[in-house]
Amino acid sequence: MKYLFIIVLVLSIIICVLIGCSPYVLYLPSRDEQVNQSESIDLNKTIKVFENLKTASSDANNINIVMMNGPEADSAKELAEEFEKIYGIKATIYDAGWGEIKKNIATPLSGIGFDVFPIDIIVFPGYSMGEIQRYLKDLDTYIEKDNLDLADLFPDIFQTVAKWKGSIKALPLSYSINTVIYREDLLEENNIAVKNDWSQKEYYEYIEKLGSDGRYKILLDPLKLNIYWLNRFINLGGKTATGNWEVTVDNEYGYKSLDMLKSFIKYSPEDILQKQYNEIVMDFVKGDFIFFEDTPDFLFTNHEEIADSGNYDNIGILPAPSGPGGNFTILESKLIGITKNSDKADKAWNWVKYYIDSERSAMLLDKYGILPARISAYENNELNDKYIFLEEVYKLLKEANFKTRWNIQGSYEIFEVMLNDKLNNGISENSNSADTMKEIESEWKEILRLKPPSPDIKNLE
């Protein structure tokens, strides 16, 4: 079997060389494949998969909690034991990927034995005006009863997914934005002084100046082409769609933002779209890469590696550069709420308030690199002594003007795949930006025709 795999791999490489595979083309499922996948959910199979949770839910002293796999689920599992000691309630943590949550859990959300459910402002922006929230309990009574300090949470979150029809449906455990991380030492070598009010034009000129002679590179996460393009787009003054879902990307803002993205890709390493995220992070820290667009979370999750690199003091953070449309970035936040059909809502509330309190928020940042939504966590003296970036990140979070990403009800995942696919093909040198935008707009309209948004859900753009 091992030799068969090697033979297949070698043949694949030979074929790729013969036909001239582009290093910038990734396989992404087509819209039709995505539609078929999303409509082929076997609820009976799904319910069987979660039979253990239904069994656990019969225990009056147990609550079932769904968390995204990775730091959120890992931290929840670690805290479950302490939570049980404090409240006498057992917390069963279900560790799931977002794809599984969207396809297998969100569908039967209204009654399958879950008590606490997560919302991701990035994964579920299309649900942000009620598609998920309608299945969650109002938390206002609980918040008032326990006198929960909402002033300690970044207020912007309540303008998006946390609230629906005037009621708070979920509370945030994390809060982050997209920024530009840069190497101060490399900019100083080239007599470039960046500032918080820098413009999109200046950023573009820096990339051209430093990249054109091959001295330095810019790094981009290949899975976030849509974010990089969207940051350009909204800063130039573009809007993705009207409140009634008329698509508005086939215009000068769409073309120009894609042209900028093409330049950034041109001055990125040739293998950038094949790299793993951790590789990109360490390439930036150790190499001659001058800019890296991303959330600042990696400065905490990779704290020790960055310190060991010797470049710890050479890293700076900037907000997204501004354009004629203003200075905007993309908000990334995760929240948790209580399912409407939970018969253990009081116990579930104990978990929600426990998991997002100030002490736990500080622990989530320190141990798991999760940027908290609680303001007091950023004012923790011990954390500020440990992380030199914390004060700077806190300042950016307070001052950021953000936009949510695409807000396309149940079709979001299909649209996201389509958008990344079109942008990935559109960054090749011989592609036409106007044609790419026309294709995106056409595909978007078709997705909305196949899966129209609910009448009471409006686009936020």
pLDDT at 11 > cutoff 60: no
Whether residues 281 and 366 share a domain: the answer is no
Domain shared by 79 and 193, yes or no: no
Same domain, 81 and 128: yes
Contact at 8 Å (CB) between 138 and 167? yes
Q: Which of 131, 229, 219 minimizes the C-alpha distance to 181?
A: 219
Query: How confident is the model over 137-146, as a mean pLDDT?
Result: 95
| Pairing state between β 171-177 and 329-338 | antiparallel
Share of the chain above pLDDT 90, in %: 25
Helix, strand and coil in the chain, % to nearest 5? 50, 15, 35
> Could you tell me if 267 and 383 lie in one domain?
no
User: Nearest 5 degrees, angle CA 229-CA 278-CA 431?
Assistant: 30
Check if the beta carbon of residue 216 is closer than 8 Å to that of residue 290: yes
d(CA 175, CA 68): 15
Q: Looking at the structure, do residues 324 and 336 belong to the same domain, yes or no?
A: no
Is residue 460 domain-resident? no
Same domain, 359 and 420: no
Comparing 188 with 214, the larger pLDDT belongs to: 188
320/346 same-domain check: no
Query: 205 and 325: one domain?
Result: yes
Structure tokens at 194: 């960046």
DSSP string across 323-356: BTTB--EEEEEEEEEEBTT-S-HHHHHHHHHHHT
Residues 399 and 338 in one domain: yes
Residue 12 lies in a domain: no
Percent of the chain beyond pLDDT 70? 76
Q: How confident is the model over 186-211, as pLDDT tens digits?
A: 888 888 888 888 888 888 888 888 88
- Map residue 212 onto helix, strand or coil: coil
**249 vs 437: CA distance, rounded Å:** 6
Of 414, 419, 457, the C-alpha closest to 436 is: 419
According to DSSP, residue 242 is labeled -
β-strand partners of 199: 322
Position 7 in a domain: no
Structural domains in the chain (count): 2
Residue at 27 is within a domain: no
Nearest residue to 46 via CA among 106, 91, 92: 106
Range of the domain at 374: 35-176+332-403
Task: Please check whether residue 308 lies inside any domain of the structure.
Answer: yes
CATH number for the domain including 144? 3.40.190.10
User: Are 55 and 121 contained in the same domain?
Assistant: yes
Over the stretch 271-306, which tens digit does the pLDDT of each residue have? Answer: 776 777 778 888 888 877 888 888 888 888 888 888
Mean pLDDT of 162-173: 86
Name which of 197, 215, 211 is nearest 262 in CA terms. 211
CA atoms within 13 A on the CB side of 281: 17
Residue 451 has pLDDT above 60, yes or no: yes
Specify whether the CB–CB gap between 178 and 319 falls below 8 A.
Answer: no
pLDDT of 98 above 80: no
Task: Judge residue 300's burial from the number of C-beta atoms within 10 Å of its C-beta, 0-12 exposed, 13-18 middle, 19 or more buried.
Answer: buried
Structure token digits, residue 358: 């100030």
Select the more confidently predicted residue: 224 or 65: 65
- Chain centroid, CA 375 distance in Å: 20
117 falls within a domain:
yes
Q: Is residue 209 part of a domain?
A: yes
**Domain-embedded: residue 20:** no
Strand ranges across the sheet with 179-183: 217-220, 289-294, 179-183, 315-318
Evaluate if residue 270 carries a pLDDT over 70. Answer: yes
Integer angstrom CA distances of residue 369 from 175, 243, 383, 391, 407: 12, 35, 12, 15, 27
- Tens-place pLDDT, residues 304-319: 888 888 888 889 898 8
- Name the residue with tokens 């960055």: 306
Label residue 449 by pLDDT band (50, 70, 90).
confident
Residue 183 and residue 60 share a domain: no
What's residue 57's pLDDT? 56
Q: What is the mean pLDDT of the chain?
A: 78
pLDDT digits (tens, 9 = 90+) for 418-441: 888 899 889 887 889 999 999 999
How many C-beta atoms surround the C-beta of residue 112 within 10 A? Answer: 20
Residue 130 confidence class, pLDDT cut points 50, 70, 90: low
Query: Which residues are within 8 A (CB) of 122 and not within 5 positions of it... i.e. 6 or more apart?
Result: 332, 405
Same domain, 144 and 212: no
